[in-house]
Amino acid sequence: MNSATLAIHPRAEAAHVRAIGTWLLLCCAVLLALVMLGGATRLTESGLSIVDWKPVTGVLPPIGEDAWQAEFARYQQSPQYQTVNHGMSLADFKTIFWYEYGHRLLARALGLVYALPLLWFWWRGMIPRTLRWPLLGVLALGAAQGYMGWFMVKSGLVDIPRVSPYRLAAHLMLALAIYASMFWLALQTLWPRARAAVSSGRLAKLLLAMVLLTILYGAFVAGLRAGLYYNTFPLMGGRWIPEQMAAYAPLWTNLTENPVAVQFIHRWLALATAGLALAVWWRQGALALDSSQRLARQLLLAAVALQVTLGIATLLAKVPVWLGTLHQGGAVVLLSAVLLWIQRGRPQRA
């Protein structure tokens, strides 16, 4: 996305543009919390506790003993209860219910936090013409994400009591697309470059692609519970390449369906991404950077170090909920740092 296309409209007041940028950052913060809560919901296996999708009436939780019993009865007909949680008490059901309910409620809240101010800004004529289609595009992605969330949950309510890893990955990547779009627009409104100096070099594109690919495989790790295999680092079962890497047939299915292979790919993608980011950081040390570029460079290094540490700790601790949740949030922080580094532009040689 070229920064020149997002130049401030001459008729728009600077205060209006700053208000839009601040609102977008608020939406990013809510979405970050939503992604982390989604991770906790997945790790506690709570995502299938609500077996229907009621976008309007589902805002209210069960009220009263009869309502809770009716909700529990619906869950008892699901594959997850019958094959995994058979005999679960109502009290235990309430625990997993609140995780999923909180996730859905926060998603609805994000929709309102985005849509209502958008309507207000639009009605007041505060949105520059060059921002209108991008903001509407984010709104459309949000609507698609609402359906994608239910499409994912529905895959675990048929025969196999778990959601499809493919749909889980699509759900997470769409959330990141929404986040990245809002974060990029916020940067361009709150912290615009004086000229169109956005770094579009191969190294920037490669780093962004590596981060997204690593996160994508993190989604497959979560969907297949692959983090519970080989909780050692750097070796897996005392080997650099575990024996079960090619256990599935046909061979290509190992890339996305074999938990051992998926964990192997995710961990080495993460290390390769960290190595590339470190190379970027080191290389830029010899360049003439302005203050914003120096800040972006240091934040990139800090985000990489944080995420690698969280990833290894999560693996060695056998994926406790709190660490897994922080690790998923760290992925969003790392994506933000990469986008900031790209947006600050390509530095000149000293």
10 Å Cβ neighbour count for 26? 15
Q: Residue 164's closest CA among 264, 86, 47, 302?
A: 47
Q: What is the pLDDT of residue 15?
A: 83
Pairing relation of β-strands 348-349 and 287-288? antiparallel
Q: Which two tokens stand for residue 229?
A: 């295999």
Q: Which two tokens stand for residue 59?
A: 């805002």
Q: What is the pLDDT of residue 56?
A: 79
Q: Residue 311's closest CA among 273, 281, 280?
A: 273
Note the pTM of the prediction, 2 decimals. Answer: 0.92
Q: Which helix (H) or strand (E) holds 349?
A: strand 348-349
Q: How far is CA 49 from CA 55, 100, 113, 265, 321, in A?
A: 16, 7, 26, 31, 17
For the segment 85-119, what is each residue's pLDDT rounded down to a tens digit? 999 999 999 999 999 999 999 999 999 999 999 99
Angle of helix 202-224 versus helix 165-190 axis, rounded to 10: 140
Taking a C-beta distance cutoff of 8 angstroms, is the pair 138, 175 a contact?
no
Q: What is the pLDDT of residue 251?
A: 93
10 Å Cβ neighbour count for 285? 10
Question: Running DSSP on this structure, what letter comes out for residue 348?
Answer: E
3-state secondary structure at position 322: helix
Q: How far is CA 130 from CA 3, 6, 116, 133, 152, in A?
A: 11, 6, 20, 7, 34
Burial of 318 (0-12, 13-18, 19+ CB in 10 A): exposed
One digit per residue, the tens of pLDDT, for the chain of length 350 reads 444 344 444 544 788 899 999 999 999 999 999 999 999 999 999 999 999 988 877 899 999 999 999 999 999 999 999 999 999 999 999 999 999 999 999 999 999 999 999 999 999 999 999 899 999 999 999 999 999 999 999 998 888 888 999 999 999 999 999 999 999 999 999 988 754 444 557 888 999 999 999 999 999 999 999 999 999 999 999 999 998 999 999 999 999 999 999 999 999 999 999 999 999 999 888 888 888 899 999 999 999 999 999 999 999 999 999 999 999 999 999 999 999 999 987 665 54
Q: What is the pLDDT of residue 203?
A: 86
Sorted by sequence, the CB contacts under 8 Å of residue 169 that are 6+ apart come out as 216, 219, 220, 223
Q: What is the pLDDT of residue 196?
A: 41
Rounded distance between C-alpha atoms, residue 173 and residue 93, angstroms: 29
